[in-house]
Amino acid sequence: MAEKLLRIVDLTKFYGKKPAVENVNLNVFSGEIVGFVGPNGAGK
């Protein structure tokens, strides 16, 4: 089994009163390639 490098649990981020992400869970393991995609200005 690959080593877990990053664990995110129940991440919520607001910009003012507007939620950007709600209750995000993410595990990233050794050897994985992860990208965050979305339109420009989306707060990535």
List, run by run, the mean pLDDT of 10-residue segments along the chain (44 residues). 94 91 95 89 68
* Position 8 in a domain: yes
Q: What is the pTM of this model?
A: 0.69
Give me the pLDDT at residue 41, please.
74
Residue at 43 is within a domain: no
Q: Are strands 4-15 and 18-29 parallel, antiparallel or unpaired?
A: antiparallel
The per-residue pLDDT for 23 is 97
pLDDT of residue 42: 67
- Does any domain span residue 39? no
> What pLDDT, on a 0 to 100 scale, did the predictor assign at position 12?
96
Looking at the domain assignment, is residue 16 inside a domain?
yes
**Angstrom distance (rounded) from CA 35 to CA 16:** 25
